[in-house]
Chains A and B, each alone.
Chain A
Amino acid sequence: MRSNERIDRLIKEKLEHLYESPPDYVLDNILQNSSSRGSSDSQKQMDEAIKRKLLTLSKEPPEYIWLHVQYYLELLNIWYNLKRILLWRRIKRTLTVIAGMLATFLIVEFPLNNYGSLLSDMSQAHRLTSLSRNKPGKNINTKSNNPSESNRTDAGEIKPQNLFAQNIGLPSDNPKHYEKSTQTDYQQPYIWHKETNEEQKDNSESNIPPQMSQLPSLNIPIKAPSVDMNLSETTYTNISDNKREIPIWQIDMGSQFSILFNEYLIQSIFGRDMILVNPGVLSSFYLGRIIVGKSGVYRIGLVYGGFDSKVSVWVDGRWNKEIMESRYIGISGSIGKLLAVMGYRKWVDGWLNASAIYFMYHVYSSEILRTNPAVNRFSLMLSGEVNYVKGLSNGDMFLIGGRIHALPFNMVKQKGFGRFVNLELHIGMRM
């Protein structure tokens, strides 16, 4: 019995040793590994199962959603079209500016006669048509009605082209005035030779300003500018009484294209030595006053300027550039416009007078104008208002409006700048 008990105890001890628990970390490791692997896999399986199910889901949305989407798409289309139109307009505008600049460049860089004979022919035809409507000799004043014999036909009538030239104060086809007297008008650049004092005296005899009725009429609607500032009837009467009747032309230069057109027009009608004043700013109006007031009549050709270019002068059949950088004019004019729009009328006057003086200083101190005889010989091309005509003592005056339409039309009316509106007349003509 004792031996049996002993054997049992030994077996138990052995067995207890056999079932002894392993260290804790062993079990932890086993459990963690199996748990995490199993868990991760089952999570993936679960996610995949859910994904598969959800991807098959489909439900018809309410009908109004498509209507709303359609509505927004329509709006978007309108917006895109609008953007496209605006872009196209911008492109067109840019192209127009480029074309204008190119045309200006051609005008400036090449002699006028290079542009072909079509325009010249047109203008010649136009001129003759215009002249044929006039009654030669009817209203010609005594002095101007006394042309040289060579200007008359055998029947004693004034030759049309000479009448025209006389009307505008040009020395017509007098060979003395040109080095190339055989050239046809407007097809070759004119080259002035310096006249002696005697010649100038002679010319001054035949250079009397014409009467209004003698001027060739343009075959386009003509409106008289209704400018009333400081231009009283008395002023006119006085001018008339003194036989110094002054034809005034007002031509709105408008865009670059109309500048070119007007330039041709003026060149064609009046001859070679026109000066176009077109700084495109209000200061140009005051420039006119300064010219007239300070120096009397200058028979200047064309002063050409603009915000994007330099002021150039057309003298002796070609452009003389870079008298003055136009940014001065542009800036001064812009400030002037701003002041005008804001209603500071007096300031506008003061400012523009100051800028005009500054401008004139540059123009007149330029070598080309000081030394060129043409400056003192030609009809004044004046960009200005009629009220500044009163200082004019002799010669023809041509008013060429600048690009004043930059001033909003309504604003012009509201602020009482009605006189500016006159400048929008495309071509005006009055005594």
Chain B
Amino acid sequence: MSKVLLNKEDIGRIITRMAHEIIEKNKGVSSLCLIGIQRGGVHLAGRLAASLEEIGRRNIPVGALDIALYRDDITVRKEQPVVRRTEVAFEINNEKVVLVDDVLFTGRSIRAAMDAVMDLGRPSAIQLAVLVDRGHRELPIKADFVGKNVPTSIDETVKVAFEEDGLEDRVVLEWV
């Protein structure tokens, strides 16, 4: 069983709104950069940056972060998470880094992502932007910018599809 939570238009409006919220909180776009968490977060970061550039009239550096090597479940999982590329081709020292992910769930990915970012440099601040917050946190982590809060039960799945992967933009809630 499944239910569409967000369609293409919804996602477009949400990204525009989040871009404005990011600008409001940071009082502009100076010394701001976006880092998307592989893989969904990377697509989202690219779109948020495009939106920010339109409003702020300044180039926003965008990077991709792989967190496989920083996960806390590496020795308990059945198989190793796939190692993807980390591509952050700019200095993050003293910059404000906005981490971007598609779904915020237990918070463990974000903990790993913060460790990974710290190994790349010392940003002046790390903020968190997510498209969907589905609850069930296992760590004390909270997003600064949330596209949509979706109360879910633990055995449901939130699936996010992006045009960049050749699919139609949408967020779907699935359950058995």
A and B found bound together:
no
